[in-house]
A and B are shown apart, each in its own frame.
Chain A
Amino acid sequence: MIKRKKRNKAHNPFYDPTLKKRHASAKRFKKFTLTSLIFSIAFLAFFLFDMIGKGLPAFNITYVKVDVTFSEKTLEDTRFAVPTSYRNLVSRAALRDLPKLLEKNPTYMNSTQNLWILASSQVDQYVKNHNHNLKDKDIETVNELYAEGLIKKKFNAIFFTNGDSKIPEYAGIFSAVIGSILTLTITMLVAFPIGVMTAIYLEEFAGDNKFTRLIEININNLAAIPSILFGLLGLAIFINLFGMPRSSPLVGGLTLALMTLPIIIVSSRAALRAVPDSIRQAGYGLGLNKIQVTRDHVLPLAFPGIMTGSIIGLAQAMGETAPLIIIGMIAFIPDAPTMVTQAATVIPAQLFTWASMPEGMYIEKTAAGILVLLSILISLNAVAIYLRKKFEVKW
């Protein structure tokens, strides 16, 4: 049997003795491509897992139940409001806020209350089994309190309501969120109209001439210029030449707008191009002029596509940091800005600042901030996909 098969092969003029090897090589090649794909997806999974693992603990924060004495003396120097052995365990910042607490509860004056007070970051890190530098004596106290149930973790609302702070347990992302909103508002107010108008010009009005091609090449190049160079532009032109205030959402927003412009132009053009010519011709047939056709017929049909592109552009601007560092948006900002000309910071810049802090708690907060930033970005992209699906027209 075996012998015959061999002879058959030998007599077969199409038999290729290297075939087995060739098939094996084809299989290896397929495996290599699959492996590289799996590697990229595995990396994404590892990254998300790592960030969630590092960030989740920050959404809880430790509180200690202590006797707080309210009197003239303790309000003057709030460190004396708690017993000496607790002094290293409670947050200095929380004690500083005692007068505010008294305002809310005037009956506390000249009495001692047993209250849940924010623990210091060291205690928090110790309770979470992270690196800490508590003294042995304090560790003993913490262990005792823990056994008695006088230490507990609560939801970290401070993280969402406070601005940046030099005291780790009091640092939050609120002012960065407001800064981001102000900055991105400027970005969209500038980039959206200019981008859409450019797209309309290129798609509907411009002929195929040198000027058009120059603009097209320019837009392609603009999309590929490193973001840090936009920061240099912002610094040299908006701040040094026009004298706009440094670190302000105004300058940041304008700088990001120039970066976002190509994304909006390219996607708006694609949306305009998708509107079939029959729509335009029907308009002309009724005696409308070019502007009326564009404004009343083409633009409304292209609008969902334009929105989708703009949201994606917004999401990209939201994650951008490098140009904002150059124009100084990494300042220490504890209070939320109220005007676009005030110094502000944005979420990614806040994360950058925290990431360079030595205390362990800032690492946790950076990761938590990353989770917040990523969830905003994912929601924005989800909205974009939803819009695209909902208004998708099959012509």
Chain B
Amino acid sequence: MLSSLQSEKKRRELNEKLIKSALILAAVISILTTFGILFSILFEAIEFFKLRSFWYFLTGTTWSPGVANSQFGALPIFAGTFVITIIALLVAIPIGLGSAIYMSEYASPKLRDYLKPILEVLAGIPTVVYGFFAAITVAPLVVKVASFFGLEATFNSALASGIVMGIMIIPLISSLSDDVIRAVPDSQRKAAFGLGMTHGETIKNIVIPSAMPGIISASLLALSRALGETMIVVMAAGLRPNLSWNPLEDMTTVTVTIVNSLVGDFEFNSPETLSAFALGLVLFVVTLILNMISLSLIRKFKEKYKVNTL
């Protein structure tokens, strides 16, 4: 009797160990994925830098794949990415932050319960749909409006894809900022009211500065999303590497160039194909740094105000 109980116990312990190691194995897969991404990109990028100069890639101004004596200077591509991202943030930050302030400070809880899901629909729309919308509806609109002001815009203007990208990331900013603003303790607001501040002044001078780490964190996440966004720019932005500051011209971005290098008919070991991985590496490193900063900012905010709902 006793021995059968003991063997039963042993069997159970073994079972427990097995299940636990299976669970750990599952958890390790997330780490493997990140390293998988890093190494798969890194190795191919190293192959690329064996063929082409690393410094010219970072600082060169001519990107001409697919021709004899092809050159891979990615500066115009970085510049295009930068311009489109800035446009997106110029659209998304004021609108997203404004919406967040209205939802958390002015709207009644009931209205807020309706507004938040509506805004989140914007985040749920597939990016290929936004891309189509940018190319078919917004780009011609930009051309028309520009010509109304006597300016000339191309149908692949950076402005069109930047605006639509900005609209796509509004909910990212509004949702996170809304949570952060609501996490600012009410005692701070009451203290400001007690000193005779208006509601507007309280928000501007007390609430927003307190919520700043969270707002910056949201904006950095939005920035990293805009840098990595692919479909909108593939469908609506141009293909021509263009070192220019004029948002009415067509520009290309890192993600567009990655897609173009890989859907072409090049050999896998050609510099044309491998250049996609070099660009992917840059994208990976930049977004990883942005995410790290963003996460640590929000962690500090959480510790400061002792909130655990974020």
Contacts and interface: CB of A to CB of B under 8 A. Distances in A.
A325 B268 contact: no
Interface stretch (B71-79, B122-130, B150-158): B122-130
Give the size category of B's interface with A: 35 or more
B16 A291 contact: yes
22 contacts: A26-B199, A29-B204, A33-B101, A33-B102, A36-B96, A36-B97, A40-B95, A40-B171, A41-B118, A51-B133, A198-B30, A218-B31, A221-B288, A228-B280, A233-B41, A290-B16, A319-B124, A325-B234, A326-B262, A348-B128, A355-B128, A377-B126
Interface string A342-376: 00000011011001100000010011001001100
B179 to A, nearest CB: 14
Given A197-B27, A201-B27, A374 B129 contact: yes
B119 interface: yes
Contact of A321 (B44, B101, B127): B127
Given A36-B97, A205-B20, 19 more contacts: A25-B200, A29-B200, A47-B125, A198-B23, A206-B27, A221-B295, A225-B34, A228-B259, A229-B41, A233-B36, A236-B40, A236-B277, A237-B40, A319-B125, A320-B127, A322-B255, A325-B262, A325-B263, A373-B129
Given A351-B128, A377-B126, A363 B136 contact: yes
Contacts of B29: 194, 198, 261
Interface in B235-271: 235, 255, 258-259, 262-263, 268
Contact of B170 (A33, A40, A194, A195): A40
B63 interface: no
B16 A40 contact: no
B230 interface: yes
Contact of A351 (B36, B132, B227): B132
A356 to B, nearest CB: 8
Interface residues of A, number: 88
A197 B23 CA distance: 5
A205 B23 contact: yes
Given A37-B98, A352-B231, A232 B132 contact: no
Q: Decide if the interface of chain B is mainly helix, strand, loop or mixed.
A: helix
A33 B106 contact: yes
Interface of B: 12, 15-16, 19-20, 22-24, 26-31, 33-34, 36-37, 40-41, 43-44, 94-99, 101-103, 105-106, 115, 118-119, 121-122, 124-129, 131-133, 135-137, 167, 170-171, 174, 196, 198-201, 203-204, 221, 224-225, 227-231, 234-235, 255, 258-259, 262-263, 268, 276-277, 280, 283-284, 287-288, 291-292, 294-295
A193 interface: yes
A350 to B, nearest CB: 10
Nearest to B135: A355
A195 B135 CA distance: 36
Contacts of A219: 30
Given A37-B103, A43-B167, A218-B30, A30 B200 contact: yes
Nearest to B276: A232
Given A201-B27, A224-B221, A352-B231, A40 B99 contact: yes
A330 B182 CA distance: 44
B41 A36 contact: no
A229 B199 CA distance: 45
B200 A373 contact: no
Contacts of A363: 136
A381 B19 contact: no
Interface in A296-337: 315-316, 318-322, 325-326, 328, 330
A25 B202 CA distance: 12
Which residue, B125, B283, B284, B295, has most C-beta atoms of chain A within 10 A? B125
Contacts of A235: 262
Contacts of A224: 221, 224-225, 287, 291, 294
Interface in A196-226: 197-198, 200-202, 205-206, 214-215, 217-222, 224-226
B259 A262 contact: no
Contacts of B135: 355
A367 B129 CA distance: 9
A201 B28 CA distance: 10
B98 A232 contact: no
Given A326-B258, A377-B126, A291 B19 contact: yes
Contacts of A374: 125, 129
A321 B40 contact: no
Q: Which 6 A-B pairs have the closest CB atoms?
A: A226-B228, A319-B126, A36-B98, A26-B200, A236-B40, A197-B26
Contacts of A394: none
A159 interface: no
A367 B133 CA distance: 9
Contacts of B126: 318-321, 348, 373, 377
A156 interface: no
Which residue, B22, B31, B196, has most C-beta atoms of chain A within 10 A? B31
Given A36-B99, A39-B95, A233 B287 contact: no
B235 A225 contact: no
A308 B275 CA distance: 40
B12 A289 contact: yes
B33 A258 contact: yes
Which residue, B24, B36, B126, has most C-beta atoms of chain A within 10 A? B126
A326 B20 CA distance: 36
Interface in A1-42: 16, 22-23, 25-30, 32-37, 39-41
